[in-house]
Structure 1
């Protein structure tokens, strides 16, 4: 059908079109289609109608042609267009999924959208859509480590019991050392954050030494007792235990959750603990540092203060750490533990079963 510069609109159609334009419930796309037809009926050319409606000349001609073919009802429905390509068959989709899950690409450890597209003869966008629909992300890998500690169950129940049902007249403290914190200074000053641009920092740095943060997180309140020391031997751990002893009320028992680092089991540490019976050490299972809540605080201070910091010396770094501790303790918020021991053990059992089934 050629260009249509003039349309004869019957009175009944005009009334219906004007009703559509006036009705507040009419979708806007239908309103401007109706206006196109009404303005054309007034004798306006396509370019003039396009200016009045605020659309293109091609759009005006398309909807005038639609009205000429299907009347007012043709304006109420969007045009349907045949797909540019035939949809992928279920067999093709299943082949991509199976290859992603069970095969490796040549000379590589994981598929990319383009390597998969090259093998299957699909476009990389088709591979992307299949992976997205099936929740497949070959480019990602997560690390894990299942504990092989024989008393794993007993230790999980002990530590989680302290979190969910702490003893009366006692403090539960999650204790650990964040060792080898480096005082790094950037070789050049970076650019600040601004609209449309992330802050920048150089990829290289100058090393000015290291320090170790000893921290004891009060599980109930979220406050953190911390101090920095050069090393993390049993001597330093004993100094920190004495600091905890001085900083806490003497009438309260202290239940310390610690990992299996040899320093925590040194004979001199055991001897000191024997002389201070209000101290009770509870060990997390081997390879299960996630059970110690103080690790969550270490992640927080690393993210908020250390990772992007620039420190010209170890004292500069230690000053920043102590300042962060003081700021944190001014408005502490506890990390709330919610997982029960049974839920953790069931999850670990499922993970072991899955690994055994794969090997």
Structure 2
């Protein structure tokens, strides 16, 4: 018995590329033959049989195969410089490919928002000759990928960023950090709050925000608890939606106490209700300073009317637009989500409300004081915090 012929291992991209070359009408005959040689060799056909099939001598077939083994598909299909067609892609051709890749396909008449490698290669093949880059009319997906990787371009991916829409972002951030800096000076080396002096104005500082859209979800069947046969809680995929609730919460940054209000909505009415909770909680002679975002309900006409009845009682330090990360209560909300809301199932919406209040009770048994550290060393604590008391209706 004769020895079994060796094969070459073509990738899926290479195989598709060679088959495309075989079908193309504008490709030179020698390129079609060479593509056929590689495809036949990948099937394990012997060199002599390939030579008979393509009408070439054995030496030419071996040369084509060796060129593939040395440098890949394009090295095998196209002659090197000085011997006819140049297999190298020029910088101008690469720049044209990158320019196409840096455009949205939807702007070039396609339905897609971002490129796939197949769609990008198809577009390049179709319009290369028209653009004066005939060589690129047969470029493969793998070669396009290599060119984009070398340029560090990823047109198939989307990364998100936040546009700075607040011209006073830096100033507002500085003001918030100034609040945190002055707070840090109210604690001693052991982390204990230093009491206010008898003649000193007491200011309670709270970080406040809302967490709307908390879903009350019920199981359709009871969970199965872990046992000898099941390592985890087992839950049926189906569930029922019972509605949503909103959590309004503040963290006292001097004591760590978390103060909740759970309602169906978070309009001006609920916000004012929360302010009333704070008003009844702290001594009448003290001031209450809230760090919060500039949501419309925080400065609405209804809110201003209430604040006008409490002159000098409340002060507000607003975070800049898209600066919610500056608000310490956001860390508390993340903790709440991880520890209590994740995977929660209830039988009624009221049960969800009561369990949230229970969580706050548990947290307040051993309150944690939240401290801000980022960039505090750059802040001069002797500056004066800019506050807004909101007693006057803004002009339209």
What is the TM-score with the length of structure 2 in the denominator?
0.51
Shift of 1:139: 2.4
Matching residue of 1:244: 278
Shift of 1:180: 3.0
Residue 257 of structure 1, aligned match among 291, 299, 309: 291
Residues 1-359 of structure 1 aligned to structure 2 (within 5 Å):
82=70, 84=72, 91=91, 96-104=97-105, 106-119=110-123, 121-123=139-141, 127=145, 130-131=148-149, 134=152, 136=154, 138-142=156-160, 144-148=162-166, 152=169, 154-166=171-183, 169=196, 170-187=203-220, 202=237, 205-219=239-253, 222-248=256-282, 253-267=287-301, 269-274=303-308, 275=310, 277-286=312-321, 288-329=323-364, 330=366, 332=368, 334=370, 336-339=372-375
Q: What SS does the aligned partner of 1:136 have?
A: coil
Structure ranking higher in helix proportion? 1
Shift of 1:84: 4.7
Q: What is the rounded CA distance, in whole Å, between the counterparts of 1:298 and 1:201 in structure 2?
A: 28
The answer to whether the 8 Å contact 2:253/2:369 transfers is no
User: Aligned pair in 2 of structure 1 residues 196, 181: CA closer, same or farther (>3 Å)?
Assistant: closer
The answer to whether the 8 Å contact 2:291/2:316 transfers is yes
User: Aligned pair in 2 of structure 1 residues 334, 183: CA closer, same or farther (>3 Å)?
Assistant: same
User: Aligned pair in 2 of structure 1 residues 125, 297: CA closer, same or farther (>3 Å)?
Assistant: farther
User: Aligned pair in 2 of structure 1 residues 153, 144: CA closer, same or farther (>3 Å)?
Assistant: closer
Q: What SS does the aligned partner of 2:114 have?
A: coil
Shift of 1:213: 0.8
**Cα deviation 1:208-234 (Å, max 9, x = unaligned):** 122221100234565422121233233
User: Aligned pair in 2 of structure 1 residues 135, 163: CA closer, same or farther (>3 Å)?
Assistant: farther
**Cα deviation 1:230-249 (Å, max 9, x = unaligned):** 33233322322232234446
The answer to whether the 8 Å contact 1:97/1:131 transfers is no
Gaps of 5+ in 2: 1-68, 76-87, 125-138, 187-195, 197-202, 380-396
Shift of 1:196: 12
**Cα deviation 1:14-60 (Å, max 9, x = unaligned):** xxxxxxxxxxxxxxxxxxxxxxxxxxxxxxxxxxxxxxxxxxxxxxx
Shift of 1:255: 1.4
Shift of 1:181: 2.0
The answer to whether the 8 Å contact 1:112/1:138 transfers is yes
User: Aligned pair in 2 of structure 1 residues 128, 111: CA closer, same or farther (>3 Å)?
Assistant: farther
Gaps of 5+ in 1: 1-80, 344-359
Shift of 1:304: 4.3
User: Aligned pair in 2 of structure 1 residues 89, 314: CA closer, same or farther (>3 Å)?
Assistant: same
The answer to whether the 8 Å contact 2:290/2:315 transfers is yes
Q: What is the rounded CA distance, in whole Å, between the counterparts of 1:186 and 1:338 in structure 2?
A: 42
The answer to whether the 8 Å contact 2:286/2:313 transfers is yes
User: Aligned pair in 2 of structure 1 residues 317, 262: CA closer, same or farther (>3 Å)?
Assistant: same
Q: What is the rounded CA distance, in whole Å, between the counterparts of 1:260 and 1:218 in structure 2?
A: 19
Q: What SS does the aligned partner of 2:246 have?
A: strand
User: Aligned pair in 2 of structure 1 residues 131, 322: CA closer, same or farther (>3 Å)?
Assistant: farther
Q: Which moved more, 1:216-225 or 1:122-131?
A: 122-131
